[in-house]
Amino acid sequence: MQYRTSFVLFTFSQFAITFLDFVGILVLFANVDSLAGWSLAEVAFLYGIANLAFGLADVFVSPVENVQVAIRAGTFDQILLRPVSPMLQIVTDGFSARRLGKLAQGALVFGFAVAAVNVDWTAARVAMTLLAVLSASTIFGALWVATSCVSFWWVEGREAANAITYGGSFLAQYPLGLYGPWLRRGLAYAVPVAFANYFPATYILGRSDRLGAPSWIAFASPVVAVAVAALSALAWRIAVRHYRSTGS
C-alpha cells in the first residue's frame, strides 16, 4: 500500500466504471417494463450475482492470467523450482486489492436486488442464493484458469481467452431468454455461465422460463461448478507439463 491516493482513485474509478455499467440497465428499463419477461429487480438479481461472483473470482483467481508474462519472460522456471504450487505463487504474486472496486459494485447491486425482488425468503431460497454465488464464483474462477492454460501453447492467446471470461460474465448479466438458441446452448453447455446465475435464479425467483430444461436444473449449479473446476484443474496440470521454458 505504498501509493495511497493512487489506490483510492483506482478503486473508485473501477467502482464508477462498473456502476455506470448498471446505469445502462436502469436507462433501458426507463423505456421498457421488462427484458425477456424479467422485471428490473429480477434482472438486477441476475446482474448482482454475476458481478459479485465475477468480482470474487477477479480478486482471488484472475491474477492467474499473469502466467502469460511468466512464460514469456521464462520466469515460470523459477516458479517451478519452488516447493509451492505454481498456481498459488502466481495468484498471490499478482494479488491486487484494487480489484475490490468491481466486487463492491456487484455486492451493492446484489444487495439492492435482494431487497427489491418480490420473494418469500425461505431457508431453502437463502441457501440456494448463497450456493449460487459460490457456484458462480467457482465457475468464473475455473474459466480464468482454463483460459490461462492457452498461454502455455500460444503465448499471445490472452485476448482470445478474455473473450470467454469477460464475455461470459457479461452475457450472464441478462436473462438467457434474451439470446438466440445457439448462444443459449453455448452458455449452458460450452461456457456454462447459465449455471452461474440464470438457472438458480429461476428457482429463487419462482420463474418457470427454464427454456425447456427440467426443474431440477436449478440445483445442478454446484455440481456443474465442481465439474468445471475439476476440468480446469486438469487442464492446468496438463498445461504445466507442456511448459517449454525459454532458451538460456
Partner 1 sequence: MIEAENLEKRFSVLRKAGRVRRAREDVVAVAGVTFTIAAGEMVGYIGPNGAGKSTTIKMLTGILVPTSGRATVAGIDPTRRRIEVARRIGVVFGQRTQLWWDLPLRDSFDLLRHVYRVGAEQHRRDRDELTELLDLAPLLDVPVRQLSLGQRVRGDLAAALLHDPEVLYLDEPTIGLDVVSKARVREFLAARNRERGTTVLLTTHDLDDIERLCSRVMIIDHGRLLYDGALATVADRLGEDRVLVVDLAESGAALNVPGARVVSVEGPRQRLAFRRSEVTAAALIAAVSAVAEIVDLSIEEPDIEAVIRRVYAGELTL
Q: Per rule CB under 8 A, is residue 85 in the interface with partner 1?
A: yes
Of the two residues 212 and 247, which places its CB atom closer to partner 1 in the complex? 247
From candidates 8, 20, 74, 237, binder to partner 1 by CB under 8 A: 74
Inter-residue contact 138 to 80 (CB < 8 Å): no
Q: In the bound complex, what is the minimum distance in angstroms from residue 87's beta carbon to partner 1?
A: 12
Q: Per rule CB under 8 A, is residue 80 in the interface with partner 1?
A: yes
- Binding segment for partner 1 (CB under 8 A), chosen from 16-24, 29-37, 70-78, 188-196, is 70-78
Instruction: At 82, give phi and psi (nearest 5°).
Output: -95, 145
Q: Per rule CB under 8 A, is residue 83 in the interface with partner 1?
A: yes
Q: Per rule CB under 8 A, is residue 247 in the interface with partner 1?
A: yes
How far apart are alpha carbons 11 and 28 in whole angstroms? 26
From candidates 1, 23, 81, 115, binder to partner 1 by CB under 8 A: 81
Q: In the bound complex, what is the minimum distance in angstroms from residue 83's beta carbon to partner 1?
A: 4
Of the two residues 13 and 85, which places its CB atom closer to partner 1 in the complex? 85
Grid coordinates representing 207?
420463474
Of the two residues 13 and 78, which places its CB atom closer to partner 1 in the complex? 78
Inter-residue contact 62 to 80 (CB < 8 Å): no
Inter-residue contact 154 to 147 (CB < 8 Å): no
Q: What is the 3-state secondary structure (H, E, C) of 84-146?
A: CCHHHHHHHHCCCHHHHHHHHHHHHHHHHHHHHCCCCCCHHHHHHHHHHHHHHHHHHHHHHHH
Q: Per rule CB under 8 A, is residue 72 in the interface with partner 1?
A: no
Q: In the bound complex, what is the minimum distance in angstroms from residue 1's beta carbon to partner 1?
A: 15
From candidates 19, 60, 66, 77, binder to partner 1 by CB under 8 A: 77
From candidates 27, 84, 115, 123, binder to partner 1 by CB under 8 A: 84
Alpha helices by DSSP H, the chain: 4-31, 40-60, 67-73, 76-81, 86-93, 100-116, 123-148, 158-171, 181-185, 198-204, 221-241
Of the two residues 17 and 80, which places its CB atom closer to partner 1 in the complex? 80
Terminal-residue alpha carbon distance, the chain: 35
Residues that bind partner 1 (CB under 8 A): 74-75, 77-78, 80-85, 241-245, 247-248
